[in-house]
């Protein structure tokens, strides 16, 4: 069983980003519980929809923050988001056709993604954004 629980090792120390990550963890946990409980397809679909929408908004939000702060690793980071978007899109299509295996694959995908991408790419971004904000504050004072 996958464990979807946000902890300090996932913290990027940018409050809005951490909040969005926590929400993604919560939705994955809800989805896993619903699958284990043998929930109805409509319930599974509604959690999947929420998860996909939240992930899309989250990626766009991070990309906006990167552009606004002239993040030097923007292209590298965005490529990782694009790969995730494509993987999720393919699985989402299968889920919509009633394929329950695809739900498990989606959970596997997010279990890896939430740990690997957040702990490396997002934490690097968090450190950069915090520094950038400190520099802006220093310039303004
Ligand atoms: Fe990211
Ligand atoms: Fe993220």
Structure tokens at 31: 């989805």
pLDDT at 2 over 80: no
Please give the mean pLDDT across all residues of the chain.
Answer: 96
Distance between CA atoms of residues 63 and 129, nearest Å: 12
pLDDT, average across residues 65-89:
98
Looking at the whole model, is its pTM more than 0.85? Answer: yes
Residue 141 has pLDDT above 90, yes or no: no
Does residue 2 sit in helix, strand or coil? coil
Tell me what pLDDT residue 1 has. 72
User: pLDDT tens across 112-124, in order?
Assistant: 999 999 999 999 9
> What mean pLDDT is predicted for residues 13-42?
97
Under 8 Å between Cβ of 40 and 6: no
Check: CB of residue 5 under 8 Å from CB of residue 29. Answer: yes
Q: Residues 83-109: pLDDT tens digits?
A: 999 999 999 999 999 999 999 999 999
DSSP 8-class letter at 121:
I
Residue 93 token pair: 């299509």
Ligand nearest to the CA of 121: 1
Q: How far is the CA of 72 from the centre of ligand 2 (A)?
A: 17
Could you give the CA distance from residue 141 to residue 136 in angstroms, rounded to a whole number? 9
- Read off the pLDDT of each residue in 50-64 and give the average, rounded to a whole number: 98
How far does the centroid of ligand 2 lie from the alpha carbon of residue 79, in Å? 13
Cα of 131 vs centre of ligand 1, distance in Å, is 17
Tell me what the mean pLDDT of segment 44-50 comes to: 98
Q: What is the pLDDT of residue 68?
A: 97
Cα(110)–Cα(127) distance, integer angstroms: 23
Q: What is the pLDDT of residue 130?
A: 96
Long-range contact list for 80-88, CB < 8 A, 24+ apart? 80/117, 80/121, 84/55, 84/59, 84/109, 84/113, 84/117, 85/56, 85/59, 88/52, 88/55
- Which residue, chain included where needed, has tokens 């409509």? 42
CA of 39 relative to ligand 1 center, distance in Å: 30
């Amino acid at each position: 069983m996958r464990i979807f629980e946000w902890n300090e090792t996932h913290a990027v120390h940018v409050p809005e980003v951490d909040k969005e990550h926590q929400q993604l963890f919560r939705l994955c946990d809800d989805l896993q519980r619903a699958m284990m409980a043998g929930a109805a397809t409509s319930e599974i679909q509604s959690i999947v929809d929420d998860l996909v929408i939240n992930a899309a908004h989250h990626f766009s939000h991070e990309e906006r923050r990167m552009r606004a702060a002239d993040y030097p690793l923007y292209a590298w980071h965005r490529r990782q988001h694009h790969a995730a978007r494509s993987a999720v899109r393919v699985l989402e299509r299968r889920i919509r056709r009633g394929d329950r295996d695809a739900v498990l694959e989606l959970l596997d995908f997010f279990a890896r993604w939430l740990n690997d991408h957040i702990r490396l790419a997002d934490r690097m971004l968090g450190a950069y954004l915090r520094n950038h904000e400190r520099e802006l504050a220093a310039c303004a004072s």
